[in-house]
Chains A and B, each alone.
Chain A
């Protein structure tokens, strides 16, 4: 039973984690793009 839970937990956590990571990257990049063009050095 614990094996069953482990398997599903691993999958769901990994997929969710990856999705969150992508979201963070999206936010950061969008901010940089909409910031002053050629902004900091």
Chain B
């Protein structure tokens, strides 16, 4: 069983699970909608101040929703004992991580699309203004969350109260994603040019943590 095969197997399994049972994507979608409704109701309507806050709010909603999904990514495995099988794969266990992270990334992208739709409906956000840039930010931001989130959820699921521990572990580390992504989204919506330093920063973050997680995952799956 070589690396890429393991990657494909893990990715395929997780995707099939997600799409067949909606066990994970369903609650995430409902949660995102609920939070958006609460926010839209609580926010002062159509004030000059709100547009500046909207990108940050959207990314916060997205982060909170992703918690739900990430928490589930290893939980089901340990319940079914599949982790044992995964860890016996005689190849680099980093590929298992890549498979899981990619599955999570795709799930997050789905949630992003849903959240964007909700923003369009509830908050009148005109995504079309700069959609290539916003798409780029969406892809890179979700990737950062998926990479760090997948790694940390593997850590958290070995603990008591993983529901509590995952956000505690995750939030400080993904602060850069939150800040960069909301900044970049805000500038794109306002029609400004996004500084290339920010693209580099976000991409670098994704790349650095992808590498770290890939190499470190061997140790994570040992338990």
Please say whether the chains A and B touch (CB closer than 8 A): no
